[in-house]
A = this chain, B = another copy of it.
Amino acid sequence: MGENKCHNRSYSRVIAKLKQAGLRPTRQRIALAKLLFETEDRHVSAEDLHGEACASGIGVSLATIYNTLHQFTNSGLMREVVIEGGRSYFDTNTGNHHHFFHEDTGRLEDIPSDRINVSALPNAPEGTEVRRVDVVVRVARRSD
């Protein structure tokens, strides 16, 4: 199930990334990291990623998918995005950006932060500080 030796540089890159995040590069984490970080930015649900992993012949349980997504999120490799009840998406783009949410299809699409402008924020309530500002632009098929 995947040779131990070669499969060359993409392995070392991913392993380095995991180590840097303080995570042991296990077989499962390496495989998931390759799926997640070696393509363009993506938004995946746990179920999505599990499906992909299985389809790629990686034996990985759903519990591990959840563990891994949370670990990646906690170490800043990903970001959690919640928009609809009952399902979370995890975003491989951790930079400053926002989202279109397609109400029809449930799909998420990035909006680069320089394409949007949030200003005149009120002060954070007493004793708190701002952790993040999320903007979600909900769109749907034009009706008229």
Contacts and interface: CB of A to CB of B under 8 A. Distances in A.
Interface stretch (A4-12, A27-35, A36-44, A131-139): A131-139
Contacts of A127: 141-142
Closest 10 CB pairs of A and B: A128-B139, A117-B120, A85-B88, A115-B122, A131-B138, A129-B142, A134-B136, A132-B138, A117-B119, A124-B139
B115 A120 contact: yes
A26 to B, nearest CB: 25
B121 A130 contact: no
B122 A119 contact: no
A115 B102 CA distance: 27
A52 interface: no
A107 to B, nearest CB: 10
A118 interface: yes
A141 B137 CA distance: 27
Given A82-B83, A111-B122, A129-B141, 16 more contacts: A82-B85, A85-B86, A100-B124, A100-B125, A102-B128, A109-B125, A115-B120, A116-B118, A116-B119, A117-B118, A118-B135, A129-B142, A130-B137, A131-B139, A133-B137, A133-B138
Contacts of A20: none
A84 interface: yes
A19 interface: no
